[in-house]
Amino acid sequence: GCFVFKPSPKKRRVSQKTVNHFGERKDDSEDTELRYVTCQSLWNEIKLETEQIQEDLNKQLFDNLVSFLRRSHSEFQEKTTEWTCQMKSREIPTAALVLGVNVTDHDLTFRSLSEVLQNNITPYIALLEAKDCPGIKNLMQKLMGQLMNCYIDVDSLEDEDYVQVSQNRIRCSMSSLINWYESVTKKTDSETPRKRRSSSSRHWQSPPVVVILKDMESFTTKVLQDFIVISSQHIREFPLVLIFGIATSPMIIHSLLPHSVSSLLCIELFQSLSSKEHLSTIIDKLLLTARFPFKLGEKVLQVLINIFLYHDFSVQNFIKGFQLCIVEHFYSQPLSILCCQLVDAKKRVNSLSHNQCENIRRLPSFRRYVESQASEKQIALLTTDSYLKEIIQKLLEDLQVYHENYVLVLRCLHVFTSSLPKYPLGKQIRELHCACLENQVWETEEYESSLQLARMLNKSDLVTVLQQCVEIFVSSSGKEFDKTIEKLKEFLTQFQKLEDAFQERDVSVSSQKELQKKTDLYHLQKTLLELKESRRSKKLTKFEMLRFEVVDYIDSLVRNYLVPADRKTLHEIVYFNTASVLREHLNAAPRIALHTALNNPYWYLKNQALKSDGGSISNKAPDICIVYKLHLECGRLINLVDWLEAFSTVVMAVEGPNADAASSDQVDDVIHARFIRAVSELELLGFIKPSKQKTDHVARLTWGGC
């Protein structure tokens, strides 16, 4: 499920007052306003970026599709007289578009696809969904509705008479569709006003009609077959192109359509980029950049990535989750006003209120910073607001620089680790990023083993890795890494120099081998052992020395720049780290929530009387809770009479002994009614159902809890 979270400014202010943040009773509305505005502008920026990324990633696919569509009917338009064209049966050009199982993302893809097609190929596009088309009749209705409307959209002024024909009165059949198509294309042929010129240059004489079936899998076989058979009969008058949106594998076409029908199609396959790659790009462009001030903490990122990998593969959901993080961060962290571009942040620091300064002093990372300072400075920091502001500006600048460097070195390290066998630090850069955020990466075992592996890299690999690193550093604009680049280049030249030395050594080794050949087995063994001994004691070759140097250098870079973010002062301002909130919102657990509500009503109702300690059943709880708790103690089949008796005992317990005596054998009517209502409520919730196995029994539909 997707989770849409849209804050409205009014609502926010109201809720702001009710929630008390960080012991802050009096709420400064100035800052909430500012926070809201900052949040909005940041989100808009990010949204634009994601859309851009999406567009870029789909470009290749769409280009292919567009050229396919151009090809599809033009062939027949050009050479209708040729022999082969006459002999060949005309198939319906069909694009099988494999989009992957992330169904939630498809909508966006189709929307942009139809936009692209509208601009390049044809104004006549219909998007069909399986749930709208249970029968061929509904399909035709939907199709005609969409096609004829789209025509009206294109030029609403010119043909008012067309608008007046209501949809009901048009016979929904292929022939009327063909008539419509003829009239539309003829009109564009005969009258050529200036306005049309521009559009006819884009669309040619008789543009194809594109029908997109969004979810091929869900269509019923019969509807699809009928539709294809009908339209293949009219393909000459009605240039149809089908696009099948396929989530699983193209095999579904063959399993849905018999050969007699699929032989009417001319199917070409198109595959979209896998959503995993899409996610990598998104993470690369949104998180691993210093462009956006907002950052995700390790746990939060892990939650989002886990939802993606474990549950839905949906990039849209990932972005929605990211959006939720932004909103939540700006909502819960008063200092988030400083989470903006550095220039603005500096200005904002100057106008911070005293309360906000206090908030900063309360930040754990800032306290750590204060403690590390000299005592006079400590006092100044804790008492003088103006001095504090000055320091904050400097710290924010540091943080920005840290981020810039972090990203570069992280990429560099990724180049290294991704060339190692078995990927001890993960194949993807996001895994490495998580590892670096979590704690000091150089203290982990994986890092140790990857360094060891790096020390065994062969020369060509090492050189390419170094070259890539140089490219990464060069691409950055800052001058921070000028020295690093020089150093790396120096390594590269040294490797170059080694070339000659290698060749010389090769000769000597081969001569050694010649000698060995002539000895017998025993001697061979002996010489080998000796060789091994000598090698162990032998001092390292030049290449090995150099390799060690390179690895050590990279190690030093990592230690310098990949310090985990939570060691940095003021990281709370830009990092969102409350994973529990996110998990609560995104990983809804309906069963658990239901169980908690019924088992422990205090959790939701917050009524002191309901506060109970563990197992006992309080009679003040709502009836349904009592019934629920009692039913937990039963097996698969529940005897209604016993249940009622137990219920009345619990309820009567409070009424005291005098009531008890009166109704010892006869249950009160009111209690009976309450019981029946509670039981039917449980049935509605799906915990029990009436059973035919035994009279006066109901069956439990859940297990466990006994």
Partner 1 sequence: MPNLEHPAYPSATLLQLESLVPCRESQVSMLLSIFGERQQFSFPSIFIYGHTSSGKTYVMQTLLNTLQLPHVFVNCVEHFTSRLLLEEILIQLQSCSSETEQISHVPCDNFNDFVRLFKQAVASQELEDQTLYIVLDRAEQLREMEANILPAFLRLQELSDRNVTVVLLSEIVWELFRPNTGCFEPFTVYFPDYSIGHLQKILSQNHPPEYSADFYAAYINILLGVFYMVCRDLKELQHLAALNFSKYCEPVVSGEANERDTRKLWKNIEPHLKKAMQTVYLREISSSQWERLQREDGEPGQLKGLSAHTHVELPYYSKFLLIAAYLASYNPVRTDKRFFLKHHGKIRKTNFMKKHEKTSNHLLGPKPFPLDRLLAILYSIVDNRVAPTANIFSQITSLVTLQLLTMVGHNDQLDGPRYKCTVSLDFIRAIAR
Residues in 527-566 at the binding interface with partner 1, rule: CB under 8 A: none
Pull the structure tokens for residue 582: 């996110």
Which residue, 107 or 486, is less far from partner 1 as judged by CB? 107
- Is residue 310 part of the contact set for partner 1 (CB under 8 A)? yes
If the CB atoms of residues 137 and 532 are measured against partner 1, the closer one turns out to be 137
Within residues 114-133, the interface with partner 1 by CB under 8 A covers none
Residue 240 binds partner 1 (CB under 8 A): no
Distance CA 339, CA 581 (A): 20
Question: Quick one: which of 218, 353, 373, 496 contacts partner 1 (CB under 8 A)?
Answer: 218
Q: Which residues contact 545 (CB under 8 A, 6 or more apart)?
A: none
Decide if residue 173 touches partner 1 (CB under 8 A).
yes
Q: Burial letters for 197-231: b for 16+ Cβ neighbours within 10 Å, e otherwise?
A: eeeeeebeebbbbbbbbbbbeebeeebbbbbbebb
229 binding partner 1? (CB under 8 A): yes
Write each residue from 174 to 193 as x if it is in contact with partner 1 (CB under 8 A), else as -, in one continuous string. Answer: xx------------------
Name which of 137 and 394 has its Cβ closer to partner 1. Answer: 137
Rounded to 10°, the helix 174-190/136-154 angle is 10
Answer yes or no: are the C-beta atoms of 290 and 570 closer than 8 Å.
Answer: no
Q: Quote the CA–CA distance of 689 and 532 in Å, as a whole number.
A: 77
* Member of 17, 47, 71, 368 binding partner 1 (CB under 8 A): 71
User: Taking CB under 8 A as the criterion, which residues in 667-706 touch partner 1?
Assistant: 684-686, 689, 701-703
Q: Based on the shown chain and the rule CB under 8 A, indicate whether residue 267 belongs to the binding site for partner 1.
A: yes
Per-position x/- string for 134-153, each x denoting binding to partner 1 as judged by CB under 8 A, each - no binding: --xx----------------
- Report the residue number, 280 or 612, with the smaller CB distance to partner 1: 280
Measure the CA angle with vertex 265, ends 264 and 269; round to 5°: 165
Distance of closest approach, residue 104 Cβ to partner 1, in angstroms: 9
Our CB check for partner 1 shows the closer of 11 and 131 to be 131
Query: Of residues 263, 350, 372, 525, which one binds partner 1 by CB under 8 A?
Result: 263
Among 373, 587, 607, 663, binds partner 1 (CB under 8 A): 587
Contact 339, 574 (CB under 8 A): yes
Q: How many residues does the chain have?
A: 706
Q: Say how far apart CA 485 and CA 471 lie, in whole Å.
A: 9
CB nearer to partner 1: give 288 or 598: 598
Q: Check residue 57 for interaction with partner 1 (CB under 8 A).
A: no
Within 624-653, the residues that bind partner 1 by CB under 8 A are none
- The phi, psi pair for 635, rounded to 5°, reads -85, -150
For partner 1, give the closer residue by CB, 518 or 591: 591
Applying CB under 8 A, which part among 32-40, 214-222, 405-413, 537-545 lies near partner 1?
A: 214-222
Q: How far is the CB of 637 from partner 1 (least distance, A)?
A: 15
Q: How far is the CB of 87 from partner 1 (least distance, A)?
A: 4
Q: Which part of the chain contacts partner 1 (CB under 8 A), choosing from 37-45, 223-231, 464-472, 656-664?
A: 223-231
Inter-residue contact 578 to 332 (CB < 8 Å): yes
Q: Does 80 sit near partner 1 (CB under 8 A)?
A: no
Positive or negative torsion for Cα 102, 108, 109, 114: positive
The smaller minimum CB distance to partner 1, of residues 49 and 217, is found at 217
Instruction: For residues 341 and 328, give the distance between their C-alpha atoms in angstroms, rounded to a whole number.
Output: 19
Q: Is residue 427 a contact residue for partner 1 (CB under 8 A)?
A: no
- Smallest gap from residue 594 Cβ to partner 1 (A): 11
Query: Among 44, 561, 565, 22, which Cα is nearest to 301's?
Result: 565
Pick the piece of the chain touching partner 1 (CB under 8 A) from 115-123, 261-269, 387-395, 658-666.
261-269
Determine the distance from the C-alpha atom of residue 378 to the mean position of all C-alpha atoms in its chain, rounded to a whole number. 44
For residue 262, count other CB atoms closer than 10 A to its CB.
16
Instruction: 381-385: list long-range contacts, CB under 8 Å, 24+ apart.
Output: 385/352, 385/354, 385/357
Query: Widest CA span of the chain, in angstroms?
Result: 113
Residue from 185, 274, 578, 649 in contact with partner 1 (CB under 8 A): 274
